[in-house]
A and B are shown apart, each in its own frame.
Chain A
């Protein structure tokens, strides 16, 4: 590693960054959406994260310079690199990779040492996102979280291992060590609770309740057949009841460990009273400071802690006379080069990866350009996937789901099987080839668009727009449901409502589509082996209408 001057400066700054002065008497550490990334990775933050309606111009719908300005971050600083996409490639070369459980572990230990009694909360999307998590049926992440010292967690993608597996982990692996909390998961018959709604932990003599909120739309965004007897939903009435019950039980601090997504958390914070802070995830927004939400009962802090193991949130509360009187919050970026690897965690990771190393290390192709996923419409990684599906499956058009996980590859780097699995490793990876009318294609795009851009956050599901290959379209986020997508074109010709097109896709959620075709990683790997070199990719973006001046697009 060259000791670049920027890096030398960063290393100095790091000491200050990670020597966070303790404050108050109750500390909570928060990680979320690591998507099973045990090793350090690159992760580029989005350059498109549009907010419309009440969300326009507010966190988290700010990108690039507008984000830096909003949070008072210095352009060109290590923090600017951590929180924004700006100057990504060059800065990534300077500062190196982020995350990795061995480095995260060092940071967690450092924070716990300076903050006795601090708990580590895990917001979910922890067991899914890598080849090893998939092949070990989540066991590598379950064991890694125990070793990391997670105290309480909630769920989203965890459920895609199936209800039985989740309960097995809760009852066996986690027994006596990690609590799964989720007030909004009920049985589909009599609506009995599936998990504890909350736990109360004593931190330095202060009873602290952690209420769980699993991802409300799990059975819609992911296959319902994986959790057929569980119902989710937002259930803010029941959230209020849980908060009140925790207070009645003596909790002096009540926080929600949420996988709602940030816009939903902001709305929930405005409606439910008595919550001191919501620690949020799902939408992968790395927010340097909490949003303070007013509600009839007072104020609630809403945070969101990014993704892929890149950040650790540190919340310090000063609790006096039975209530929170002040706080300090910092979302610390985890720079692998600035935090030495924890030896125990590093040894565990080596061991758990050993049986799979050969498969993971297969070199598929060299990428000439930057490959990333995150952004409302399309990323270069997704463009590569839809290009591969069209070529390998002889399709006219290809769709790739608007997932927000998936790591970044720098220009000139080799794409390995592991990198490809970082984009695709799910328990329902099947490809589909479907004949669809132009009308059906529009219906699908409109449906997903409303899940992303409905002006009421409770109608949003928190992913990004389905990635589209082969066809072009125009898009107006502020238009009504059914009217956002227009000018659909294929090879220079208008897509006709009644004409039939061959559409490739993957990750089908319907039970009928189980085993519909080969796994997406096999199809894309075949394509990459044939290409050997992937040229610079310009993602196919819709022509946006009405978004001039929106601070959520660079």
Chain B
């Protein structure tokens, strides 16, 4: 169970309630993260199912301590965040909901600084074929 003494931050309501990228980034203390090629995001080019979009983030930055996944066009932009303790690899995967085509952002905190990268995931109506 979640118990006191784990040094875990309380659920970040302000970040999960944020209605634009700026305030979501603000609420996690990220400000304006620099783009970094050392942060990689994996997600499908086209979502097979907008309700279940696999997203993975890998950070090759030393001392990565935090990873967040944000979806620009979702009503709740921040999807999930992860605290990476020492000894855990900065390599996480989850599955998220997407209502429409959007950029998906990976935001990473390493050595106290924030970095990010993004990938567009297309959500299509479907049909037709060869």
Q: Interface code A6-19, partner B: CB below 8 Å = 1, 0 otherwise?
A: 00000000000000
Q: Give CA–CA (A284, B130) in the complex, Å.
A: 7
- Could you say which of B45, B52, B101, B127 contacts A221, with CB atoms under 8 Å apart? B127
A-B pairs, top 6 by smallest CB distance, nearest first, are A221-B129, A463-B128, A404-B130, A401-B128, A402-B128, A220-B126
Does A371 have its Cβ within 8 Å of any Cβ on chain B?
A: no
CB <8 Å contact, A261 and B130: yes
CB <8 Å contact, A282 and B48: no
Q: Interface code B8-48, partner A: CB below 8 Å = 1, 0 otherwise?
A: 00000000000000000000000000000000000011101
CB <8 Å contact, A459 and B45: yes
Does B73 have its Cβ within 8 Å of any Cβ on chain A?
A: no
- Report chain B residues within 8 Å CB of A444: 125
CB <8 Å contact, B48 and A464: no
- Could you say which of A233, A403, A459, A466 contacts B48, with CB atoms under 8 Å apart? A233
Closest CB-CB distance, B84 to chain A, in whole Å? 22
- Report chain B residues within 8 Å CB of A206: none
Q: Which residues in chain B, 89-105, are within 8 Å of chain A measured between CB atoms?
A: 101
- Report chain A residues within 8 Å CB of B130: 33, 125, 156, 261, 282-284, 403-405, 462-464
Q: Interface code A453-465, partner B: CB below 8 Å = 1, 0 otherwise?
A: 0001011011110
Q: Which bracket fits the contact residues of B?
A: 10 to 19
Does B60 have its Cβ within 8 Å of any Cβ on chain A?
A: no
Q: Which residues in chain A, 438-476, are within 8 Å of chain B measured between CB atoms?
A: 443-444, 447-448, 450-451, 456, 458-459, 461-464, 466
CB <8 Å contact, B128 and A224: no
- Report chain B residues within 8 Å CB of A221: 126-129
Q: Give CA–CA (A447, B124) in the complex, Å.
A: 6
Nearest-neighbor residue (CB-CB) of B127 within chain A: A509
Known pairs A448-B127, A463-B128; A220 contacts B52 (CB<8 A): no
CB <8 Å contact, A466 and B46: no
Closest CB-CB distance, B39 to chain A, in whole Å? 17
Q: Which residues in chain B, 75-130, are within 8 Å of chain A measured between CB atoms?
A: 101, 122, 124-130
Q: Give CA–CA (A125, B130) in the complex, Å.
A: 9
Q: Give CA–CA (A217, B125) in the complex, Å.
A: 12
- Report chain B residues within 8 Å CB of A447: 124-125
Does B63 have its Cβ within 8 Å of any Cβ on chain A?
A: no
CB <8 Å contact, B45 and A188: no
Closest CB-CB distance, A373 to chain B, in whole Å? 11
The A contact surface, by secondary structure, is loop
Does A174 have its Cβ within 8 Å of any Cβ on chain B?
A: no
- Report chain B residues within 8 Å CB of A157: 129
- Report chain B residues within 8 Å CB of A380: none
- Report chain B residues within 8 Å CB of A222: 129
What total of chain A residues lie within 8 Å of the partner, measured CB to CB? 44
Q: Which residues in chain A, 205-232, are within 8 Å of chain B measured between CB atoms?
A: 215, 217, 219-222, 224, 231-232
Q: Which residues in chain A, 226-250, are within 8 Å of chain B measured between CB atoms?
A: 231-234
CB <8 Å contact, A403 and B45: no
Closest CB-CB distance, B122 to chain A, in whole Å? 6
- Could you say which of B48, B126, B128 contacts A231, with CB atoms under 8 Å apart? B48
- Report chain B residues within 8 Å CB of A156: 129-130
Question: Can you name 24 A-B residue pairings with CB atoms under 8 Å?
Answer: A156-B130, A217-B46, A217-B48, A220-B46, A220-B124, A220-B126, A221-B128, A221-B129, A224-B48, A231-B48, A234-B45, A401-B127, A402-B129, A403-B128, A403-B130, A443-B125, A444-B125, A451-B128, A461-B124, A464-B128, A466-B128, A507-B127, A507-B128, A508-B127
CB <8 Å contact, B52 and A188: yes
Q: Give CA–CA (A454, B49) in the complex, Å.
A: 20
- Report chain B residues within 8 Å CB of A507: 127-128
- Report chain A residues within 8 Å CB of B46: 217, 220, 459, 461
Q: Give CA–CA (A172, B130) in the complex, Å.
A: 28
- Report chain A residues within 8 Å CB of B101: 481
Closest CB-CB distance, B38 to chain A, in whole Å? 18
Q: Give CA–CA (A219, B46) in the complex, Å.
A: 11
8 further A-B pairs in the complex, CB-CB below 8 A; given A224-B48, A447-B125, A451-B128: A221-B127, A222-B129, A224-B49, A224-B126, A403-B130, A462-B129, A463-B130, A507-B128
Q: Give CA–CA (A481, B101) in the complex, Å.
A: 11
Known pairs A261-B130, A462-B129; A451 contacts B124 (CB<8 A): yes
CB <8 Å contact, A219 and B48: yes
- Report chain B residues within 8 Å CB of A188: 52
- Report chain B residues within 8 Å CB of A404: 129-130
Q: Which residues in chain A, 176-210, are within 8 Å of chain B measured between CB atoms?
A: 188
- Report chain A residues within 8 Å CB of B126: 220-221, 224, 509-510
- Report chain A residues within 8 Å CB of B48: 217, 219-220, 224, 231-233
Nearest-neighbor residue (CB-CB) of A505 within chain B: B127
CB <8 Å contact, A219 and B49: yes
- Could you say which of A232, A401, A459 contacts B129, with CB atoms under 8 Å apart? A401
Nearest-neighbor residue (CB-CB) of B50 within chain A: A220
- Report chain A residues within 8 Å CB of B49: 219, 224
- Report chain B residues within 8 Å CB of A443: 125
Closest CB-CB distance, A485 to chain B, in whole Å? 14
- Report chain A residues within 8 Å CB of B44: 233-234
Q: Give CA–CA (A447, B101) in the complex, Å.
A: 11
Q: Give CA–CA (A404, B129) in the complex, Å.
A: 7
Q: Which residues in chain A, 372-428, are within 8 Å of chain B measured between CB atoms?
A: 401-405
Known pairs A224-B48, A224-B49; A459 contacts B122 (CB<8 A): yes
- Report chain B residues within 8 Å CB of A401: 127-129
